[in-house]
Structure 1
Amino acid sequence: MANVDYQNSFILILLVCLFSTFFFLFVYFFKKPNNVSDLPPSPPSFPIIGHLHLFFSTSLHKSFQNLASKYGPFLHLRVFSLPFVLVSSASITYKIFKDHDVNISSHGPVGLDDCLVFGSSGFITAPYGDYWKFMKKLMTISVLGHQAMQRSQGVRVVEVERFYRNLFDKAMKKESVEIGEEATGLVMSILGKMCMGRCFSEDNNEEKVSKINAEFAALTQKIFLARMLCTPLEKIGISPFKKEVMDASNRYEELLESIIVKYEEKVDENDGNEGMDILLAACRGENAECKITRKNLKALLAELFFGAGDTSSTTTRWAMAEIINNPMIFERLREEIDSVVGKTRLIQETDLPKLPYLEAVIKESLRLHPPGVLLPRQFEQGCKIRGFYIPKGTTLVINAYAVMRDPDAWKDPDEFKPERFLGQEEEKKENVLKFLPFGAGRRGCPGSNLSYIFIGTAIGVMEQCFD
């Protein structure tokens, strides 16, 4: 009899534990947010996991675009208890950046803290505040600002000429040209020398950095998912993609450390005006508003190399593909370049402001093939948008791919028409907050002007060289 009572007690305790566990999971992962009736519409979801299944797609931006076409351009999603707002409309995006830019000035969860690119040590995902402002200022002074650009203009002229000679040699040998690879080589060589001078060209560093950048480009969607889903999944012991991403990150950090060490060893050969000298001074705390660590320095370089390098090479490849597929655009672009530059010299970056059609071609390529297809932010405070309540801490995901193909905002959105960017000033102003290849607002990419220079000169040289 005592044995039976013991068994019954054990079963009762087991049932209580199981019930408590399921109750906890239900309350923690499936709880309804406040003001649920005021939230944006939501597609059907599964118990507990919510819309987790929607995040695992080979082309997440296209999957989200299809979701928006079925359920609407302003959606509320939930992964376990984590709330998301998905925006696929140009008009709603315009409204958010116009009225709530400060409120969405944070990129939200980092996900992989130790990752060199998009980790907590970097600039891109840093919370909006003094550190982020200092890092942006540091990047501007060392590489992207007006004085820094003037200081490094000679480097870009030399590298563009080298780029031309390489293309010309291949043409004479009747060798094929891999446009993305050539553009990547040009950008890496320029960026490296802008930051570190001739030292960067040693040990084949351009190729090494380009190779790891390509790995990170292939991991972009996994890094996005790790950032978005880290909070709920880590609570149940899952760290998605961490090993794969951190392996690439550790190798990137080792490579950059070796490059920096060699630069420091040759300090007497440097003129003190390289971007790296400014960054190292800040790292040592010399007259710096905010002391940064060695890891902060490497993260800044990695984000600069990856951001500018991948964006410029990918956009150049897409732009040339579109130009080649549209002979009339090719001819019009050639005529504009010949009329401004002539046929006796190479295009230079100082020519770019006089080439509006080339700029339009670049912008149209970026519109159709944006380098950053999904833009994550976080609402720091609860607010109302279009009559819907958005709770504090909600992750905002703007589908830039869908926004820049929104038929309500762009005529013939899937067609390559550079002319749409040749409108009057009012039309250009209207395009600003719905044209999102580099993000928008105060957290927009600070290197967009440099990318335009890289892309414009690369396309211009190829236009001049080949029929």
Structure 2
Amino acid sequence: MEVAFSSVTLLLSFLVAIFFFFILRLRRKGVDDDAPLPTGPRAYPLIGNLHLVARGVPHQTLAELVREHAKGPLMRLRLGQVDCFVAANREAAQEIAKHQDLNFAYRPKMTFGQFFAYGNRNVALSPYGDYWKQMRKIYAMEMMSPSRVKSFFSIREVEYRTLVRDISVAGASGQAPVNVSSMLISTGSTIVVKCAFGNKGEKLQRQFLSLVKETLSLITSFAVADMFPSIRFMDSLTGLTYRLGRVHQKLDRMFNEIIALHEADVEDEKKDLIDVLLQLRDQGEDITLESIKAEVFLAGSETTSTTIEWAMSEMIRKPETLERAQEEVRRVISGRTKITERDLEKLTYLKMVIKETLRLHPPAPLLLRECKETCLVLGYKVPAGTRVLINGYGLGRDERYWVDALDFRPERFADGSLDYKGNNFEYLPFGSGRRICPGMNFGNASIEVALAHLLNYFDWKLPKGMKAEDVDMREIAGIATLRHSPLFMLATPAVPLP
């Protein structure tokens, strides 16, 4: 009798639980159905709002559209056949990147990622799941750990010492303008590739950097499939699929040769990033050759060198800022010919200069995510599959959060209350949450070393007849916040060169 009674009780409890489960589902469904969608500018048939986004540099255009059309925390855009919601304030960014981070931890599958990231297997592009968790852990514990980043200091220091000597020769002791942009890009790319590949296959490395430039130009091309999934075949008709495939095949052959060199060198000390990944694979981690290639395909990216360019561009327009930064660096270095890691720790004002540069010129201005399940964001419905953008560029220049938002003022970071680690949602140069940039510490370390060398060894001036207001501060569209034109300056040696 007791057994029968227990069975009935268990059955009733189960039925009650099912009943409340469906009631809650219905109630939640009803709330979702009744919740409004965000508003935005008028969308036209077929193209939606593509004509608005395509009229200029995307992150700048989106910031303007938010100011003009956002009626709430989100702005809705229709990009071809794809819905895209843009965070219009820091509260929306916080909701997406923190409070509902798991639901927005996904990435849409983009055309260039299918080719150059081997089916979106790069940690920056791969969908959220077990593979992404594994690779993110490897980044944190192995590839970009503090000790690993520190181990690359000698590479950075040697290459920037070489840069200093090259600038002195090219600038003829302040008599000829130096193309700072091209020299920084070349040095920055060399550093990243040496950290990834070591000293193996130097000829292949040079070919790789050349191919990376071609790759980056293709990445910014318009892919029909990304905006009009139903007519993705158009990318074949326009020749984009062929061009992407051709460059991908070249890169793939080069990766195979470079990896083969690493596998054959059994005496190697296992210090570069390919060695780290190969070691982990041999130790049983689920890492394939495609995974390794996907993680290094952006090794020649220009984000770090571009940030250094912007810092120099901003300082040359503000002599008092440049002088203060130089005074600090030279006081700390104190006439020595070699800059050490301990020196960098003491450069308080230089760190403020870098933070302010990242505010105005974030290396990755648009942070793209995808909504996994339909949800509410501050009272507005976000359907599953919607692409969501956080415009770090727009938030960093928003007058609601920054006094004199467009003015370059490193002193605003003097109290140390703001950092770039994703906790302040009006300041997201590297993103936030699960999708924060895993190479953040590596990039920042390179920026510090570069600026310390440039400020210590040279006095900088604009070319003859040029004024601060003449410096071209325009941007062009790209993955990074790229300058519209190269930065030229006069560099006069101020202390003995290394």
TM over 0.5: yes
Q: Per-residue CA shift, 1:156-211, capped at 9, x if unaligned?
A: 333333233333333446554322322233333333332332225x2172x43333
- Any conservation in 1 of the 2:211–2:251 contact (CA below 8 Å)? yes
- In the alignment, residue 294 of structure 1 is paired with which amino acid? L
Q: 2:54 aligns with which of 18, 32, 56?
A: 56
- Any conservation in 1 of the 2:307–2:358 contact (CA below 8 Å)? yes
- In the alignment, residue 441 of structure 2 is paired with which amino acid? N
**Alignment CA distance shift 1:141-1:191 (3 Å):** farther
- In the alignment, residue 217 of structure 2 is paired with which amino acid? A
Residue 286 of structure 2 corresponds to residue 286 of structure 1: no
Task: Give, in whole Å, the separation in 1 of the partners of 2:225 and 2:98.
Answer: 26
- Structure 1: gaps of 5 or more residues: 1-33
**Alignment CA distance shift 1:252-1:95 (3 Å):** same
**Alignment CA distance shift 1:80-1:318 (3 Å):** closer
Q: 2:290 aligns with which of 274, 286, 295?
A: 295
- Per-residue deviation, 1:55: 4.0
Which residue of the partner structure matches residue 67 of structure 1? 65
**Residue 108 of structure 1 aligns to a residue in which SS?**
coil
- Any conservation in 1 of the 2:40–2:76 contact (CA below 8 Å)? yes
Task: Give, in whole Å, the separation in 1 of the partners of 2:76 and 2:394.
Answer: 16
Which residue of the partner structure matches residue 123 of structure 2? 123
Q: 1:452 aligns with which of 444, 464, 467?
A: 444
Task: Give, in whole Å, the separation in 1 of the partners of 2:362 and 2:419.
Answer: 20
Task: Give, in whole Å, the separation in 1 of the partners of 2:416 and 2:273.
Answer: 38
**Of 446-455 and 367-376, the range deviating more from structure 2:** 367-376
Equivalent pairs counted in the alignment come to 424
Q: Per-residue CA shift, 1:29-54, capped at 9, x if unaligned?
A: xxxxx848610113211234433433
Q: TM-score, normalised by structure 2?
A: 0.77
- Per-residue deviation, 1:445: 0.6
- Any conservation in 1 of the 2:95–2:101 contact (CA below 8 Å)? no
- Counterparts of 1:294-333 in structure 2, within 5 Å, are 294-303=289-298, 305-306=299-300, 309-333=301-325
Residue 185 of structure 2 corresponds to residue 184 of structure 1: yes
- Counterparts of 1:235-254 in structure 2, within 5 Å, are 241-254=240-253
- In the alignment, residue 186 of structure 2 is paired with which amino acid? G
- Any conservation in 2 of the 1:49–1:79 contact (CA below 8 Å)? yes
- In the alignment, residue 52 of structure 2 is paired with which amino acid? L
**Alignment CA distance shift 1:116-1:296 (3 Å):** same
- Structure 2: gaps of 5 or more residues: 1-31, 460-498
- In the alignment, residue 412 of structure 1 is paired with which amino acid? D
- In the alignment, residue 169 of structure 2 is paired with which amino acid? D
Which residue of the partner structure matches residue 198 of structure 2? 197
Task: Give, in whole Å, the separation in 2 of the partners of 1:350 and 1:185.
Answer: 26
Which residue of the partner structure matches residue 103 of structure 2? 103
Task: Give, in whole Å, the separation in 2 of the partners of 1:462 and 1:120.
Answer: 37
- Per-residue deviation, 1:436: 1.8
RMSD value over aligned CA atoms? 2.9
**Alignment CA distance shift 1:177-1:263 (3 Å):** farther
Q: Per-residue CA shift, 1:95-153, capped at 9, x if unaligned?
A: 33231111111122233453214852322111112211222233345431133234333
**Of 404-413 and 350-359, the range deviating more from structure 2:** 350-359
- Any conservation in 2 of the 1:111–1:229 contact (CA below 8 Å)? no
- In the alignment, residue 344 of structure 1 is paired with which amino acid? R
Task: Give, in whole Å, the separation in 2 of the partners of 1:51 and 1:251.
Answer: 36
**Residue 125 of structure 1 aligns to a residue in which SS?**
coil
Task: Give, in whole Å, the separation in 2 of the partners of 1:103 and 1:376.
Answer: 13
**Residue 410 of structure 1 aligns to a residue in which SS?**
coil
**Residue 381 of structure 2 aligns to a residue in which SS?**
strand
- In the alignment, residue 180 of structure 1 is paired with which amino acid? S
Which residue of the partner structure matches residue 417 of structure 2? 425
- In the alignment, residue 326 of structure 1 is paired with which amino acid? K
Task: Give, in whole Å, the separation in 1 of the partners of 2:177 and 2:279.
Answer: 44
- Counterparts of 1:37-48 in structure 2, within 5 Å, are 38-48=36-46
Task: Give, in whole Å, the separation in 1 of the partners of 2:214 and 2:441.
Answer: 25
**Of 213-222 and 80-89, the range deviating more from structure 2:** 213-222
**Alignment CA distance shift 1:229-1:40 (3 Å):** same
Task: Give, in whole Å, the separation in 2 of the partners of 1:35 and 1:236.
Answer: 35
- Any conservation in 2 of the 1:312–1:455 contact (CA below 8 Å)? yes
Which residue of the partner structure matches residue 366 of structure 1? 358
- In the alignment, residue 214 of structure 1 is paired with which amino acid? K
- Any conservation in 1 of the 2:262–2:275 contact (CA below 8 Å)? no
Task: Give, in whole Å, the separation in 1 of the partners of 2:84 and 2:274.
Answer: 39
Which residue of the partner structure matches residue 82 of structure 1? 82
- Any conservation in 2 of the 1:118–1:124 contact (CA below 8 Å)? no
- In the alignment, residue 259 of structure 2 is paired with which amino acid? I
Task: Give, in whole Å, the separation in 2 of the partners of 1:153 and 1:108.
Answer: 35
More helix by share: 1
